[in-house]
Amino acid sequence: MSIGSDTAGAEAGPNLGMTSAQPRRAVIDRAWRALGPGVEVFSGDDGGPLRRTVKRIIDPLVLRLRSNTHYSAPVLAPDVAAELHEQMVRSGPHLRAAAAWFTELKQQRRRLRITTGNAQELYFPVCFELAVNRGAPAVDSAQVAAEVLAGLHEGRDRTAIEALNGYVADPQVVDRLRRQLERSWDDVVPSAAITGPFFAGLTTVLGPADSHRAEAARQRVWSALVADATPYNLGAGARRAEAGLPWSIVDIGLSSIQPQRPPSISGQGEGERPLDRSVVDRVRATLRRALDRDELPDLPLLCAEEVDRACAPWGLLAEDKQAALLTGIEVATDLHPLDASASGRYQLSARIQAKLAKEAYVLHARRYLAAGTAVHPRQQQVIDDLGGFARPYLSRLWARLHGRDVWQESCADIDELRSLLEGVARSVSLDHRQRIKAMLEVQVAQ
């Protein structure tokens, strides 16, 4: 998910003749492109820096905004813009080395079967620190990466998870949460409001915007859709057999059962899909993802909030997250990587579909299927995911929206939402590539 800007495709170097103020995001985007190859893992599909790259590396470590506050203004004077550009370009060697370290840490993470924590949030700053202190990865890079991961993850989950397990071991606590869940679940009732305007509005939200006026109009439409009752009503309707949803929540992978049933407080849920998870599993996931647990409520309040969230439509409390998931469902049901002739109903989903269809591993899978060749079991898993791409896509999107819901991070900005929807597809595709790569490594080793 790149920061996006009006400078996409502009010249790589600074505009030395520039006499007018420039948006900060445009200056960063231009400087990033001037770095050239070697920072792809920190970049979005459009070549600009990921939002998390800006948040975790560029702002705090490259530009050092705490001491260089003049870089933080949303609009930069020409001399400040030129200075920022030069500062980023000077940091190019460190950024390229940091990108190489991130690749190394991700490989070690997979080898060590670490699944907790967001790799970008946790590793981006560490990778830049390694680049400054050690330069690019050398012959001892695997050992260094393993030591870094041990320091980051050792004991990180144990204390918080043990506290959670101890808290919900009290039968009175579980009983109180169960009573709250029953009340909250019964409070969610759909209305008879029509859904047509919401889906009609998605044509604008997921469509092109070729001018500033069109971008502003797209934002206005999205703001109206967030306030629309459709996401709430369809989420509430998913609990009723006669709801008549546009798609099956089982087929798209959000639930193992239709209609959706109330979640349990703890223990095994009905299945492994997002809406099947118990309240305790949701809280556990929050604790594992959290970078700074001191910013979270204490366990009683955290669990009580999660009960209400689990009972809300789509398992999300905020209206903008509910609208974002419904928009994501519409995108996901357009994605069919194994079908080269598939074309999306929306400009954004068509663009994502076109990128997925061109992936080398997708083309390889198509040839295997067309030839009727025997497929390795691990490769078959990837092919199954490609055949029902909505399932892994929506599972990952729901997890990201759940995190935003817990941390109260907004989805009100339509450009940010579109980047999120593209970023989820890219993340799933990268995961597929890595699974195939791991399978090939095992075959070579044998």
Contact 80, 18 (CB under 8 A): no
Please give the pLDDT value at position 407: 87
Closest-CA residue to 409 (of 284, 291, 330, 237):
291
Contact 180, 304 (CB under 8 A): yes
Please give the pLDDT value at position 65: 87
Mean pLDDT by 10 residues, the chain (446 residues): 42 51 91 95 89 91 88 90 95 96 91 78 91 92 90 67 89 95 94 93 96 94 96 95 88 94 84 92 85 70 94 96 98 93 91 91 79 68 85 96 91 94 92 73 48
Degrees, nearest 5: CA angle 4-392-442: 105
Please give the pLDDT value at position 157: 54
Please name the helix (run of DSSP H) or strand (run of DSSP E) that holds residue 23, with its range, or none: strand 22-23
Place of tokens 């600074």: 14
Please give the pLDDT value at position 10: 38
Residue 398: how many other CB atoms lie within 10 Å: 26
Distance of alpha carbon 206 from alpha carbon 218, whole angstroms: 9
**Could you tell me which residues are beta bridge partners of residue 43?**
49
Question: What is the pTM for the complete model shown?
Answer: 0.70
Please give the pLDDT value at position 6: 37
Distance of alpha carbon 278 from alpha carbon 311, whole angstroms: 11
Please give the pLDDT value at position 174: 95
Contact 181, 262 (CB under 8 A): yes
DSSP assignment letter at 267: S
Residue 150: how many other CB atoms lie within 10 Å: 13
DSSP assignment letter at 43: B
Please give the pLDDT value at position 154: 66
Q: For residue 18, is it left (φ>0), alpha (ψ between -120 and 50) or beta?
A: beta
- CA 85 to chain CA centroid, Å, is 28
DSSP assignment letter at 297: P
